[in-house]
Structure 1
Amino acid sequence: MIYFETSRLRLRDWEETDLEPFRRLNADERVMKYFPKTLSTEETNAFYKSIISEFEECGFGLYAVEVKENKEFIGFIGFRRATFEADFTPCIEIGWRLKKEAWGKGYATEGAAACLQYGFNELGFHEVFSFTADINEPSKKVMIKIGMNFIKMFGHPRVEKDSPLNKHVLFHIQQNSANGLRS
């Protein structure tokens, strides 16, 4: 099923053929630079199953993203339920992970902006959060471009306290403020 499209992207259900490029994506050290580690085949398989389960339980999740022009799978953009222990959870998080060859083309911003509109207009979300390691400048720029506002810094409880990835930024957007992109 195709959930929605942008001028260049299709956000859709996952297909079995996505699993191998998804494994490569999660094993790529450049892609996983702002995560504690790359994922093994087994970890990616478990992540894939959790994505499918979330769609079955909630009717939303991390959408598989393909470029319309060539139908190439480039990663995911979408929503997750964040349930780790924090003063802003449980909440709906928007996130993205794209393969290196898709970087620098505006795909994350384009897809995430459309995803927010879908979440607010079709899924009935009232607010959405996003967070990443403070050193992840590319993702922070996407958050700003899609109209999200910085809320605060926090130590991520699932990242080692002495890791440079522990210090996270929290961004937020409400339904009535999701009207357009910032340049």
Structure 2
Amino acid sequence: MIYIETKRLQLRDWKEADLKPFCQMNADDAVMAYFPKTLSTDETQLFYTSILAEFIEYGFGLYAVEEKESKAFIGFIGFHRATFEADFTPCIEIGWRLKKEAWGKGYATEGAKACLQYGFTELGFHDVYSFTADINEPSKNVMMKSGMHFVKYFDHPKVENDSPLKKHVLFHTAYHKEMLNN
């Protein structure tokens, strides 16, 4: 099923054929630079299974992203229920991860904006959050270009204390009609 369609992207259900490029993407050092580590094939399989389970449980999740022109799987953009311990959780998080060949083309922003509109108009969300390591400038730029606003810095409780990824930024947006016209 295609959930969201933009000029250049389809955000859709996952297919078994997505698993191999998903594993390659999660094993790429550049793609995973702002995460504690790359993921093994087994770890990616578990992640894939948890993505599918979230769709069953909540009716939304991290959508597989396909480039319309090439029909190629390029990553994911979508929603996740963040439940780690923090003063803003549990919450609906928007997130993305794209293979490096898809970077610099505006796909993450295009998909995130469409996802937010879908979340507010079709899924009934009132608030959506996003967070990343403070050093992750590309994702912070996507958050800002998608109409989200900086809330605060926080230390991610699941990241080691001595990691340069410990300090995170939190962004937020709430439903408002003006955002849907952008």
Same fold (TM over 0.5): yes
Partner of 1:169: 169
**Paired positions, count:** 181
Letter matched to residue 106 of structure 2: G
Question: In the alignment, residue 92 of structure 2 is paired with which amino acid?
Answer: I
Distance 1:155 1:70 in 2: 39
Q: 2: CA distance between counterparts of 1:165 and 1:32?
A: 12
Matched with 1:72 is 72
**Aligned position for 1:108:** 108
The alignment-based identity, stated in percent, is 74
Map residues 81-100 of structure 1 onto 2, 5 A cutoff: 81-100=81-100
1:26-62 Cα shifts (integer Å, max 9, x gaps):
0000000000000001100000000000000000000
**Counterparts of residues 21-170 of structure 1 (less than 5 Å):** 21-170=21-170
d(CA) in 2 for partners of 1:22 and 1:152?
Answer: 31
Q: Which runs of no fewer than 5 residues in structure 2 stay unpaired? A: none
Structure-2-length-normalised TM-score = 0.98
- Aligned-residue Cα RMSD (Å) equals 0.8
Distance in 2 (CA, whole Å) between partners of 1:40 and 1:148 is: 32
**Unpaired runs of at least 5, structure 1:** none
**AA matched with 1:168:** H
Secondary structure (helix, strand or coil) at the match of 1:178 reads: helix
Inter-partner Cα distance in structure 1 for 2:102 and 2:149? 25
Q: For 2:163 and 2:71, locate their aligned partners in 1 and report how far apart those are by CA, in whole Å.
A: 38
Q: Could you tell me how far apart the structure 2 residues matched to 1:73 and 1:2 are?
A: 13
| Superimposed CA distance per residue, residues 116-169 of structure 1 (whole angstroms, 9 cap, x where no aligned partner) | 000000000000000000000000000000000000000000000110000000
The verdict on how the C-alpha distance between 1:44 and 1:174 changes in structure 2, with shifts beyond 3 A counting, is same
State how far apart, in whole Å, the 2-side matches of 1:4 and 1:163 are. Answer: 36
Provide the rounded CA distance (Å) in 2 between the counterparts of 1:4 and 1:157. Answer: 32
Amino acid at match of 1:163: S
What TM-score, normalized by structure 1, do the two folds share? 0.97
Task: Give, in angstroms, the shift of residue 178 of structure 1.
Answer: 2.8
Distance 1:169 1:70 in 2: 34
SS in 2 for 1:164: coil
Displacement over 2 Å in runs of 4+: 177-181
- CA–CA separation in structure 1 for the residues paired with 2:181 and 2:3: 20
